[in-house]
Chain A
């Protein structure tokens, strides 16, 4: 079947099998390997991408279901060489060690800050509660997201607009 969607502002028009999961479409078909493929059971959250601005687990979504929609992956956070404040925050506050959970964490953070520019610790922890990090103990991730909220630019990528 034919699917057509916008990924990071670019049109993707591909012939796929209906059973192809969004995570494999993004990684294998489009070569955007920043989206990680982890548990495959919608538990770990490293495969999170934004669909129309909302974080969604791409291992549990068919690419076919997203046809006609707007997808943002971690590659879409940086624009013209300028990092998103979320990416900057993860650098500044050591929000990652191995980095496996990072793409999902950053996209969920982006969506959170778009909705709530001044989230509390509790709100941040709730927002990322569907995502697992085995390195940081989450403290530096929460700190990174605070940093991003404090330094957020006027332009926010991936907002539902």
Chain B
């Protein structure tokens, strides 16, 4: 029987309350959101917090809204709500692409955006999605808020910029004209972690790509955006040649390892192919040729 080690539990009544608890309890305390990453870690003793602060009642962290030229998503927004959101589907269909293949519908009823990002598993899909769409992370403490990019947020595997007395409260994605985005994932069976995933977002300026970003999952410790990919995309007209070239750049800039999900060579191949496919669809969507 797998049961977590003993801990003390408290339910936060507001974000301020939650952060004050973390400030007082320090590194021995963890927030629990959906619990679908943290509880399995606790069962296996990979995580052993002395205190759990339940943030499921914090209604101010549940929202998907358009404000000040940004899409803002509360950290407690559940996978199910990301999947169902028409606002997100309209501006960033990459979320719906990804959510369709993240875990299963029952798990998606509990798991959250903030929980997924804070888990910072290199195989986790939403980190790649947020990287592709150039999301920023809002981190709050008793002294105020700071906003960091995904590359500053993701410090390393299972490690983020969120400090012991801080909380990730919101994700913000800038709204820019003529955007398209898409996500491609290869998994061994329904609901599994990715063998490799790739997410792409492009912003068009007439017939050329004004800016483009690719985020990859499950190809090594680094989930941050790939600079040379964006360099190769900027100011260039989309073409099959370009998608292939950028796929090659993506594959050359990741470091997958051979494991039970596949060989390093197979994963490099997937990084190329999935980058190519997601870019192709992102451009088609930006040009209004595909929903």
**A residues whose Cβ falls under 8 Å from a Cβ of B:** 1, 17-21, 24, 40-43, 45, 48, 54-57, 60-62, 64-65, 67, 108, 126-127, 129-131
Contacts and interface: CB of A to CB of B under 8 A. Distances in A.
A88 B53 CA distance: 42
Q: Which 5 A-B pairs have the closest CB atoms?
A: A130-B104, A18-B9, A130-B106, A19-B4, A40-B2
B269 interface: no
B1 interface: yes
Contacts of B109: 54-56
B9 A64 contact: yes
Nearest to A104: B106
Given A19-B7, A62-B35, A129 B191 contact: yes
Given A55-B109, A65-B35, A129 B104 contact: yes
Given A60-B36, A65-B54, A129-B190, A45 B106 contact: yes
Given A60-B40, A62-B9, A129 B105 contact: yes
A53 B11 CA distance: 22
A61 B191 contact: no
A40 B1 CA distance: 8
Contacts, number: 77
B191 A40 contact: no
A61 B38 CA distance: 10
Given A41-B40, A62-B39, A21 B106 contact: no
A75 B3 CA distance: 25
Given A40-B1, A65-B35, A129-B191, A56 B106 contact: yes
12 contacts: A1-B9, A18-B8, A40-B1, A40-B43, A41-B40, A42-B40, A56-B110, A64-B9, A65-B32, A108-B105, A130-B107, A130-B191
B257 interface: no
Nearest to B2: A40
A9 to B, nearest CB: 22
Contact of B105 (A19, A21, A127): A127
Interface of B: 1-9, 11, 32, 35-36, 39-40, 43, 52, 54, 56, 103-107, 109-110, 190-191
A42 B36 contact: yes
Nearest to A69: B56
A61 B2 contact: no
Nearest to B9: A18
Contact of B106 (A1, A40, A48): A48
B9 A61 contact: no
A129 B54 CA distance: 28
Nearest to A17: B6
B191 A24 contact: no
A53 to B, nearest CB: 10
Contacts of B4: 19
A19 B4 CA distance: 6
A54 B35 CA distance: 16
Nearest to A40: B2
Contacts of A108: 105-106
Contacts of B190: 129
A126 B3 CA distance: 29
